[in-house]
Chain A
Amino acid sequence: SSELTQDPAVSVALGQTVRITCQGDSLTKYYANWYQQKPGQAPRLVIFGKNNRPAGIPARFSGSRTDNTAALTITGARADDEADYYCNSRDSSGIQHWVFGGGTRLSVL
């Protein structure tokens, strides 16, 4: 099965740009999708596919991919962006199996 690797924690100064990465072999075949999770809440989809935002997600969230690494970029981080962020994709082994990264805790300083 595939694994997706994320840095456990990242910090960003208020108003600055931060990049949260997700690495895995399956990302050479499938796009990563990104979820934001705040304490006590369910995950919320923020980026899907190549670089698509669901309705209501601000334009400061964007996604990209290079080789086996996907990135979620937050441009102009706000205090409200402090949360855990998870990537997900499909397993590349051929079976129908979906995987998540271990999550990145974003601190906005």
Chain B
Amino acid sequence: QVQLQESGPGLVKPSETLSLTCTVSGSLNSHYWSWIRQPPGKGLEWMGYVYESGSTQFNPSLKGRLSMSVDASRNQFSLHLTSVTAADTAVYYCASLVLIANYFDNWGQGTLVTVSS
């Protein structure tokens, strides 16, 4: 069973960049690593994935603001979201995507990021 753990600042100022890291217990190989967020009291939104090779795919609603990267030597992958606003306040989850069957089988515990000055 793969375990995932998010880390990063809990507070980000408006217009700045939100950066989070997910540490994976186990290899990053052959997995699609996703970020999913959930605004307080609302539903889930898939943000994007990064593959072990570094290839990415993003939610069209976030294109232009979102980037992701992978560091296999550290068993980590990261998210960077630029020009944040209060609407980006959410619990951010990292998860592994089983692409062929379209489901997310392992999830981190989530980390709350608040965008506020």
Instruction: Write the residues of chain A forming the contact surface with B, with a CB cutoff of 8 angstroms.
Output: 1, 30-31, 33, 35, 41-45, 48-49, 54, 86, 88-90, 95-103
Contact = CB atoms under 8 A, between A and B. Distances in A.
A42 B45 CA distance: 13
A88 B102 contact: yes
A34 B105 CA distance: 10
Interface of B: 34, 43-46, 57, 59-60, 93, 97-99, 101-105, 107-110
Contacts of B102: 30-31, 33, 88-90, 98
A100 B109 contact: no
A43 B93 CA distance: 9
B43 A42 contact: no
A97 B99 CA distance: 10
Contacts of A30: 102
B59 A97 contact: yes
Contact of A54 (B43, B93, B99, B105): B105
B79 to A, nearest CB: 16
Nearest to A33: B103
Contact of B104 (A31, A41, A45): A45
Contacts of A97: 46, 57, 59-60
